[in-house]
Chains A and B, each alone.
Chain A
């Protein structure tokens, strides 16, 4: 299970890397984040990072079901 989590993190980071650099994500109260900020949060296992990983995996699963 630990291995899968690390693999998932690496996958999510690779997916975040292709985000354009000229945009940011405002997440209300939490702040505004560039792709580099999001990647750092995923790497550091912050609450935000865990949320992003969780949502990315749910999104990937939804993709294969035709959303």
Chain B
């Protein structure tokens, strides 16, 4: 059980890293572009960064969707 939780935490960190690597490559002028919809609401790179950086519930949802859509 502990192992599973540890793996999830590692996955979460790895996914966060993937996002941060991608985000840091996005030019400044592009960071206000919409990359995702969450609850039908537009999410830009900058908004995604705030949520993911602060490890919010929404951040986890955003990460999951970004990976599902193969955007990171």
Direct chain A–B contact by Cβ atoms under 8 Å: yes
A binding-site residues for B, Cβ under 8 Å: 4, 7-8, 10-11, 14-15, 18, 57, 60-61, 63-67
Q: Which of A61, A63, A66 contacts B70 (CB 8 A)?
A: A61
Q: Is the interface of B mostly helix, strand, loop or mixed?
A: mixed
Residues of chain B within 8 A (CB-CB) of A63 are 26, 30, 33, 35
Question: When the two chains form their complex, are residues B25 and A60 in contact, meaning their CB atoms are under 8 A apart?
Answer: no
Interface assignment of B6: CB less than 8 Å from any CB of chain A: no
**B41 (CB) vs chain A CBs: closest residue:** A14
Question: When the two chains form their complex, are residues A60 and B35 in contact, meaning their CB atoms are under 8 A apart?
Answer: yes
Residues of chain A within 8 A (CB-CB) of B72 are 64
Question: When the two chains form their complex, are residues A10 and B40 in contact, meaning their CB atoms are under 8 A apart?
Answer: yes
How many angstroms between the C-alpha atoms of A18 and B70 in the bound complex? 23
Interface assignment of B47: CB less than 8 Å from any CB of chain A: no
Query: Nearest Cβ distance between residue A66 and chain B, in whole angstroms?
Result: 4
Complex interface bits, B45-72 against A, C-beta within 8 A gives 1, otherwise 0: 0000000000000000000000011111
Q: Which of B22, B27, B40, B69 contacts A8 (CB 8 A)?
A: B69
Question: When the two chains form their complex, are residues B34 and A18 in contact, meaning their CB atoms are under 8 A apart?
Answer: yes
**B18 (CB) vs chain A CBs: closest residue:** A64
Known: A4-B68, A4-B69, A8-B69. A66 touches B36 (CB 8 A): no
Known: A15-B33, A60-B35. A66 touches B40 (CB 8 A): no
